[in-house]
């Protein structure tokens, strides 16, 4: 009898629960380990599993909920790290000391410092592949726009809207632009950022204001997070002055000829089954690899850390975002 592929999910919070729901709906059957040292998170995650995954899907998997990574087997096919960013590097280091991991999916933002980022890269380099969960590359609307913008230079892109968590979510847009245009993020101008404030997650911070990101192909990306009543809208303008508008909340794209096309923006639990099965069947994944995303993460951390230290009159090397 063929052994089931093994998946360990580290971090059983809200995002971890959505990952688990997706794993439960995979076509293949898996041996699943859910790990969190916080008992309430484990209990809530188990309840989410029982409430949101159909019984016929649940029973084909073997699952256990563990309070420590010491309870994991010596070999894991796929590790999903859905913890907060502050502990991600240390958990990966601890995990690799006792367990051989073939594949990784790591949540964004990958790390809170350039040192942590380097440690994660070093501690996962013996594995077959490492991906970062920046999933817009998998969405049909983003794929359709890649066909339009591939290899385009000098795009002017603006993302603006109400309090959308810029510090932790801007990496989504950096990756989109790099993937769409094959340009590379080169620098970030942070002079129009405002005050840092504590986010919804206690102990973590976010910021309002504007950053300007410059790419190697002349593309400029303006990201604005402000307090207003407006939905988050992305506008893309090419060198000929043609404009596209993307609204992921109201779920439409407005094209230069003013035609409007409805789009689907799937939740993590919907995306996860195809991601997992593709990795297990083919050893491939359409998420960006850690290597693809490494430079953008370094530039992001350097820019926001610079502003954090100016704002707080400090010299910290760790940025408290997640």
DSSP 131-169: EE--GGGGSHHHHHHHHHHTT--S-EEEEEEE---HHHH
Is residue 283 domain-shared with residue 256, that is, in the same domain? no
Is residue 99 within 8 A of residue 74, CB to CB? The reply is yes
Whether residue 149 sits in one domain with residue 169: yes
Q: Which residues sit opposite 75 in a β-bridge?
A: 100
Helix spans in 139-253 (H): 140-149, 166-181
Same domain, 25 and 114: yes
Which is it for the CA torsion 142, 145, 146, 149, positive or negative? negative
Q: What tokens does 276 get?
A: 């997992």
Same domain, residue pair 251 and 152: yes
Angstrom distance (rounded) from CA 193 to CA 321: 15
Q: How far apart are the first and last CA of the chain?
A: 42
SS3 assignment, position 29: coil
Domain-terminating residue out of 232, 265, 298: 265
Mean pLDDT (whole number) for 202-211? 96
pLDDT at 304 over 80: yes
- The predicted-structure confidence for 210-245, as pLDDT tens digits, reads as follows 999 999 999 999 999 998 888 999 999 999 999 999
Q: What is the mean pLDDT of residues 83-94?
A: 98
Neighbours of 75 (CB within 10 A): 10
d(CA 157, CA 154): 9
> What is the extent of the structural domain holding 64?
5-133+271-288
Instruction: Please compute the mean of the pLDDT values over residues 27-49 and round it to a whole number.
Output: 96
Q: Which of 297, 31, 317 is nearest to 167 (CA)?
A: 297
* 74 part of a folded domain: yes
Distances (CA, A) of 266 to 31, 122, 138, 164, 189: 25, 32, 10, 18, 32
Is residue 126 included in any domain, yes or no? yes
Q: Are residues 129 and 278 in the same domain?
A: yes
Q: What is the DSSP letter of 120?
A: H
302 assigned to some structural domain: no
CATH of the domain at 240: 3.30.360.10
Tell me how many domains the chain contains. Answer: 2
Is residue 49 included in any domain, yes or no?
yes
Structural domain contains residue 177: yes
C-alpha to C-alpha distance for 260 and 256, rounded to whole angstroms: 9
Q: What is the predicted pLDDT for the residue at 228?
A: 86
pLDDT of residue 229: 80
184 and 121 part of one domain: no
Question: Do 114 and 198 sit in the same domain of this protein?
Answer: no
| 233 in a structural domain | yes
The pLDDT of 68-79, averaged and rounded, is 96
221 and 196 assigned to the same domain: yes
* 1: confidence class by pLDDT, cuts 50, 70, 90: very low
pLDDT in tens, 155-199: 999 999 999 999 999 999 999 999 999 999 999 999 999 999 999
204 and 95 within one domain: no
pLDDT beyond 90 at 309: yes
- Region 294-312: mean pLDDT is 98
Would 312 be classed as within a structural domain?
no
Looking at the structure, tell me whether residues 255 and 185 fall in a common domain: yes
Compute the Cα dihedral for 261, 262, 267, 272 and give only its sign.
negative
The overall pTM is greater than 0.75:
yes
CATH code assigned at 72: 3.40.50.720
Is the residue at 304 inside a domain? no
Note whether 87 and 144 are same-domain residues: no
Band of pLDDT at residue 11, cut at 50, 70 and 90: very high
Tokens, residue 259? 């035609």
Same domain, 220 and 279: no
């Amino acid at each position: 009898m063929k052994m089931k592929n093994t998946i360990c999910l580290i971090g059983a919070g809200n995002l971890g629960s959505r990952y688990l729901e997706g794993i439960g709906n995979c076509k293949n059957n898996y041996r699943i380990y859910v790990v969190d040292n916080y008992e309430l998170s484990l209990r809530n995650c188990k309840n989410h599993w029982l409430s949101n995954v159909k019984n016929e899907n649940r029973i084909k998997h073997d699952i256990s909920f563990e309070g420590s990574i010491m309870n994991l087997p010596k070999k894991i096919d796929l590790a999903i790290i859905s913890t907060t960013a502050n502990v991600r590097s240390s958990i990966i280091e601890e995990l690799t000391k006792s367990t051989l991991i073939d594949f990784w999916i790591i949540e964004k933002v990958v790390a809170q410092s350039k040192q942590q980022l380097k440690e994660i890269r070093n501690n996962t380099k013996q594995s077959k592949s490492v991906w970062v969960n920046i999933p817009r590359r998998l969405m049909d609307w983003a794929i359709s726009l890649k066909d339009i913008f591939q290899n385009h230079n000098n795009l002017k892109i603006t993302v603006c809207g109400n309090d959308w968590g810029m510090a932790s979510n801007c990496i989504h847009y950096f990756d989109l632009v790099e993937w769409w245009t094959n340009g590379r993020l080169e620098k970030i101008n942070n002079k129009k950022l405002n005050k840092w404030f504590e986010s919804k997650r206690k102990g973590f911070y976010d910021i309002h204001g504007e950053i300007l990101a410059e790419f190697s192909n002349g593309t400029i990306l303006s990201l604005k997070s402000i307090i207003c009543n407006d939905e988050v809208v992305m506008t893309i303008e090419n060198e000929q002055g043609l404009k596209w508008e993307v609204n992921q909340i109201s779920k439409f794209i407005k094209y230069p000829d003013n035609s409007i096309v409805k789009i689907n923006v799937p939740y993590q639990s919907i995306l996860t089954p195809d991601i997992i099965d593709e990795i297990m069947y083919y050893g491939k994944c359409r998420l960006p690899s850690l290597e693809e995303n490494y430079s953008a993460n370094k530039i992001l951390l350097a820019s926001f850390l610079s502003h954090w230290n100016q704002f707080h009159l400090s010299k910290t090397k760790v940025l408290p975002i997640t």
